[in-house]
Structure 1
């Protein structure tokens, strides 16, 4: 990893609060279209900043993505998981040093425990960086995707979704910047091409009562913003001071949460929130599509925004677990997360950096 990278080590994060069945309040809803001109601060921007700081999760409507496109992506995602096991295994993530491809149930690790989900990971469709002794390991994150030959339509829909979601995420990021009294373009260089955004399509199989139910373990997302599209089966929960709050599905709305890189850029004014997915018990699988809007590897470092004094006073600094440090260097931070989550890829392509079991 780059020796220029440095970790952020403030006070350790607060531990898990006890689950609370008394939490019934739904997450707030933000209408992206209502935020209007990204150059003018409005009361809606102030509400956005308040929600993001104090809650960290919200529903996003008014995003402008056509319902038909959403339905096509959801349908073809289900078709992918219906492919024969051997078809999915041909594009297994262990065959890609770029961390792209299929992972079976239990193949991804969160907090040292296997996640009970199967998924396929995509990134931006870009050429690989040539390997050499002087090339930092994190350049291995850039490269082509793996596509199932049995489902050629998937590539078209995924690439179209990446473009649509990128535009929504950039508009939302600009709205955040205006809300924090920054120029809307303040982080344009951070998200300029070549892009480094990721996409997962995920299936959580039903688990019987009495069996482990870690669909995905409690974690924070590492990018700037996450746009999550859920189906009608619940299971997503966000940690609040009162305990775990259910995030029920809302048709054609994204669930949005802040990532650690935006927490770094705002010196902790905006906070990445801890969340998890509990496996469904209903006998039906849960499907979701997660888009991770992330800094470009070419941007190198996450800049620190110059917040006005009345906001800077409320910035508590970013949280960082000494066992999972945050780095201001983008590539170092991104690779660290992948190595921990995908031990098969780490051991095959990054043996000197692979975590020990």
Structure 2
């Protein structure tokens, strides 16, 4: 048995006290069941220290005189045109965006603007309804629909300036009675529309990989869908915190709807690129699972959301993955994209295996699970 010096003991005690104080502060915040919005409603002018985020080493592109950097905007209006060359042009743009930026915005995607607006309003209705009604959905237990602030509140090194609801939508649809009145109808309608859009997006991504249009759907990339509705109120000290910390998505693709208040940024060439809201547009980004099966042809990208002095910022992130429905399906780099010059870079895996590694080894520091599966 070894012994520790007095000075080391003192340092350990300090760390323990800091950790203990933080846990107490987190629990006090969590117990209110009112989230970040509750703090703002109470009129705070200084944010609690649990929300402090360390400074970032990367600069915004706009600060480095790269104001022309912007993620691609792709018009899907002509994907069903009778002239096949029109679809090929769209596929080429999708391929280029997925290989280079890993993010792109889409217009004329088939979801009516009125539905997008109704979904944003549904999120607002849920978070701005009577506190006692909203509290009924506050939990950290897994349910078809739940609400809380910072889903990994007790496991993350810092907290972020947002409240969220979660809804598991496919492959098993939730019972309508499990969803809140404030957003039940629009949540079901919007998710149906996103599932249809997912079918088209996976067709275009398949073709961009040189595969048949149905390839990615046939291996189950669009079977699962879950949604997070995020609500980030105006922050009195936005320079001290973030709306979402830097991370990449552990799914196949993500479709994001955001309201008029910006904040989303993509890390590209060691710079933060703003993704400004575009009326009627949706943001699409590649997830880790698609990077794995495409053998790095398409790549996931780290991104974040900054806190804002104005608000609320509302976003709805739709994730294509069967994360909450364990499957024995085995994935690996798609054989059709491999060659002598492009051998497999990853071993075979199951989605539960990727998620288990992410939760135990990567979630705390928001690191990528990809390296664990590299050959």
Q: Smaller-chain TM-score range?
A: 0.7 to 0.9
The corresponding residue for 2:130 is: 84
- Change in 2 beyond 3 A, CA 1:87/1:339: farther
Aligned counterparts of 2:261 and 2:352: Cα–Cα separation in 1: 35
Deviations 1:79-136 (A, max 9, x none): 1011233322211232x33474101268647863212110100012676xxxxxxxxx
In structure 1, the gaps of 5 or more residues are 1-14, 128-141, 319-325, 344-357
Aligned counterparts of 1:117 and 1:232: Cα–Cα separation in 2: 16
* Structure with larger Rg: 2
1:174-189 aligned within 5 A: 174-189=203-218
- Change in 2 beyond 3 A, CA 1:16/1:182: farther
Offset, 1:339: 7.3
| TM-score of the superposed pair, with normalisation by structure 2 | 0.70
| TM-score of the superposed pair, with normalisation by structure 1 | 0.73
Of residues 264, 267, 290, the one that matches 2:292 is 264
Offset, 1:252: 1.3
1:154 aligns with 2:183: yes
Of residues 81, 87, 93, the one that matches 1:47 is 93
Of residues 312, 333, 354, the one that matches 1:285 is 312
Of residues 218, 225, 234, the one that matches 2:246 is 218
Instruction: Give secondary structure in 2 for the equivalent of 1:112.
Output: coil
- Change in 2 beyond 3 A, CA 1:220/1:269: same
Mapped contact 2:76–2:90 kept (Cα < 8 A): no
1:36 aligns with 2:57: no
The corresponding residue for 2:48 is: none
1:227 aligns with 2:250: no
1:253 aligns with 2:281: yes
Of residues 105, 121, 124, the one that matches 2:169 is 124
Aligned counterparts of 1:174 and 1:262: Cα–Cα separation in 2: 13
In structure 2, the gaps of 5 or more residues are 1-55, 365-375
Instruction: Give secondary structure in 2 for the equivalent of 1:35.
Output: coil
- Change in 2 beyond 3 A, CA 1:211/1:264: same
Aligned counterparts of 2:299 and 2:221: Cα–Cα separation in 1: 23
Deviations 1:123-156 (A, max 9, x none): 12676xxxxxxxxxxxxxx9768845xx525222
- Change in 2 beyond 3 A, CA 1:64/1:157: same
CA RMSD of aligned residues (A): 3.4
Offset, 1:334: 3.5
- Change in 2 beyond 3 A, CA 1:154/1:303: same
- Change in 2 beyond 3 A, CA 1:228/1:341: farther
Aligned length in residues: 302
Aligned counterparts of 1:76 and 1:243: Cα–Cα separation in 2: 34
Offset, 1:211: 5.5
The corresponding residue for 1:137 is: none
Aligned counterparts of 1:244 and 1:171: Cα–Cα separation in 2: 29
The corresponding residue for 1:112 is: 157
Mapped contact 1:110–1:219 kept (Cα < 8 A): no
Aligned counterparts of 1:99 and 1:335: Cα–Cα separation in 2: 20
